[in-house]
Structure 1
Amino acid sequence: MTPRTIAAYGAPGLVLAALALTFYVFLPKYYADVVGIDLTVLGVVVLLSRVWDAVIDPAIGALSDRTRSRWGRRRPWMAFGAIPLAGTFMLLVVLPHIERPLLEGLYLGALTFLFFLFWTMVTVPYEALGAELSFVYDERTRLLGVREGAILAGTLLAALIPIAVGLGVDLPAGAAGERQRYWLIGLTYAVLVMLLVGVCLLFVRERTWAESQRPKAFFRNLKTIWGNGPFRIVLAAYATSALGVSVAATMILFYVEHVLGSRAGPVFLAIYLGIGTATVPVWIYLARRLEKRRAWLLALGVNTGAFVWAIFLGRGDAVLFSVIVLCSALGLGGVMALPPSMQADVIDYDEWKTGARREGEYIGFWSIIKKLAAALSAGLAFPILDLSGYAPGAVEQVPTAIWTLRLLYVGTPSVCNLIAMAIAWRYPISRGMHEGIRREIDLRMAAGEPLALR
């Protein structure tokens, strides 16, 4: 694959990650402290909208598998989803305060439902496209590693944008200034969504598929997906780790402000993501040397072994936390970059068993896990924090709220990653096994309709 194709494919990951981080990390605090939405209402809205999002993921994935058009089966979905995705995100960041909590919750819920519908129309076909662009074991890791590197860079961008937006602009003080700041953030991301998705659509070509490789009845396929043993292993490990990561992402600003007594949450997040992004090429190299499973286990171990010590920190320990963030970030690139390549390998395993290419269906189920993890992180963490006595907007929090923040932010991801490592240890697809699978698939295809690039 050419560097231009790899870069063009990775480009949308930058802005899609920025949207996701803004929604899960910055908007909840903005809604609670500036807009004035009740924490429990916020948690319920996020949970219900993400359950809806999870329901439509496999449906859109399956529909994209079965789409026939002159532009391929993934790009039409991305094209039709990008503009309304940008529009609904703008509406989310200019959310008005409504005096009646029920109406406010319904309005936020409706917008969130639409946002995730268009999000899925873009992201599920986009991720499915990556799994089918290359069948080469190490080239696939490089391609998807670049995408995950772009996602980390986009997350870093989202951490820095709230700091940068408004510099040189005379924004009003207080809530009015924050509202104008988020309007500028929303406009920036809306433009980037349309621009970077457009770059991918323009420069990345799709494969055409033999009719025998197209999946047939969706519901009959569910049994064979779940019967894919390597997929179950990597999905379970990833899901467990993703739950912990989502809880930490949701709680980081609360932890830094109320446990450490610092306002530097975006700075810590920028350090973490910057180092994680920079180490992605190192983890791609290690995956080539150690193979993917061993490299992923090593990344999880480095990430968790450093991060767990943050549970002992308190007010005034910002410098120590910086050291922990730096060390933990050394494993982040591998934690993020390697699972998508392992996921693509299990899709090849499925083709070897069934003869069909079903990236959309597999990505749909993969996305369910990512989104349910994010939904649970908000739907459970916020009510737990509310029950602990957390007072929104207050400078000082009660001790039970402080310890709850420690356990949510540090304890949850540490335990989840340890469980994920135990599960991932059993992942069976090595380089040799994958190369054997691809050889047999290619021999079968040699007797039938060949693959070509559109």
Structure 2
Amino acid sequence: MSKNNKNELGSIILHSKMIQASYGTTSIVTHLIDMVLVSVVIFFYEAEIGLNIWLVGLAYIIYMVWDAINDPLVGHMTDRPFKFTRKRGRRFPWMMISYIPWLISFFLIFTPPDIDNQFVIFGWLLATLCLYDFLESIFTVNFFALFPDKFRESSERVSASAFVVYLGFLGVVGAFLIPGLFIDFGDIGSYVVMAL
């Protein structure tokens, strides 16, 4: 029995509360970033950058359509076996490959080109939102698909789910508190600092 295992029942490995909590900590980051995306980006582009609100809305509509198409495609792509997923499992390599690029794509959303052309700024917003969603999908699809593979017993799933939910709630709360510590209205650079 390895030190990560609390108990073994046949081939089913039960994980310690610490392992369950470590799995749940990922939901802090995912919820924090997603809620900042929802609560800050529209204001940033409309009020700070000066992009017409209709173009911001159109970018979000196209982004939502992209999201509806992208998630199943990413799920299908990452569910297939690849040479690089044999050693570390089907899910973990995808999470590791996408994590840093996903965070960089979030940062890029807050660094639009410094020009007055509305359509270039619209294109930047749309491209960075879609890139963000693609990379976020690679990470989160595999994160959530890992759950039933990792936690096989129903009692263990309930316990691990509690960590995911409660720690995710901390991410949501943080999304409404943390940006206010960094954002100075009228200072576009403060949004870039917040995104870091």
Instruction: Please give the range of the TM-score, normalised by the shorter of the 2 chains.
Output: 0.7 to 0.9
What residue is the counterpart of 2:9 in the other structure? Answer: none
Please state if 1:183 is matched with 2:189: no
Instruction: Give 1:77's match in structure 2, choosing from 73, 78, 94.
Output: 94
Preserved CA contact (<8 Å) 1:57 1:124: yes
Query: Deviation of residue 53 (structure 1)?
Result: 2.2
Residues 375-405 of structure 1, C-alpha deviations (whole Å, 9 max, x = no match)? xxxxxxxxxxxxxxxxxxxxxxxxxxxxxxx
State the AA in 1 paired with 2:194.
I
Percent of paired sites with the same residue: 25
What residue is the counterpart of 1:51 in the other structure? Answer: 65
Bigger Cα displacement from structure 2, 149-158 vs 61-70: 61-70
State the AA in 2 paired with 1:30.
F
What residue is the counterpart of 1:100 in the other structure? Answer: 117
CA distance in 2, matches of 1:97, 1:90: 16
What residue is the counterpart of 1:426 in the other structure? Answer: none
Please state if 1:17 is matched with 2:22: no
What residue is the counterpart of 1:66 in the other structure? Answer: 80
Please state if 1:111 is matched with 2:120: no
Instruction: Give 1:151's match in structure 2, choosing from 155, 168, 188.
Output: 168
Q: How does 1:221-300 map to 2 (within 5 A)?
A: none
State the AA in 1 paired with 2:22.
A
CA distance in 2, matches of 1:95, 1:131: 39
Please state if 1:35 is matched with 2:49: yes
CA distance in 2, matches of 1:8, 1:64: 23
Preserved CA contact (<8 Å) 1:14 1:155: yes
Query: Deviation of residue 136 (structure 1)?
Result: 2.2
CA distance in 2, matches of 1:96, 1:175: 17
Query: Deviation of residue 69 (structure 1)?
Result: 1.4
What secondary structure sits across from 2:186 in the alignment?
A: helix
Q: How does 1:287-436 map to 2 (within 5 A)?
A: none
TM-score by length of structure 2 reads: 0.84
Query: Deviation of residue 129 (structure 1)?
Result: 0.6
| Paired positions, count | 179
State the AA in 2 paired with 1:6.
Q
Preserved CA contact (<8 Å) 1:36 1:97: no
What secondary structure sits across from 2:116 in the alignment?
A: coil
What residue is the counterpart of 1:8 in the other structure? Answer: 22
CA distance in 1, matches of 2:164, 2:53: 34
Residues 71-91 of structure 1, C-alpha deviations (whole Å, 9 max, x = no match)? 000011111101111111111
Residues 40-78 of structure 1, C-alpha deviations (whole Å, 9 max, x = no match)? 111111121222122121122123322241000001111
CA distance in 2, matches of 1:81, 1:95: 22
CA distance in 2, matches of 1:105, 1:126: 31
Bigger Cα displacement from structure 2, 9-18 vs 137-146: 137-146
Please state if 1:133 is matched with 2:133: no
Preserved CA contact (<8 Å) 2:112 2:121: no
TM-score by length of structure 1 reads: 0.38
Gaps of 5+ in 1: 188-454
CA distance in 2, matches of 1:138, 1:3: 12
Deviating 4+ runs (over 4 angstroms) = none
Query: Deviation of residue 164 (structure 1)?
Result: 2.4
The 1:103–1:164 alpha-carbon spacing in structure 2 relative to 1, beyond 3 Å, is: closer
What secondary structure sits across from 1:175 in the alignment?
A: coil
What secondary structure sits across from 2:88 in the alignment?
A: coil
Residues 123-179 of structure 1, C-alpha deviations (whole Å, 9 max, x = no match)? 10001111322232232122122112222111111111022236xxxx6xx512xx2
Query: Deviation of residue 97 (structure 1)?
Result: 4.8
Preserved CA contact (<8 Å) 1:50 1:116: no
CA distance in 2, matches of 1:146, 1:21: 19
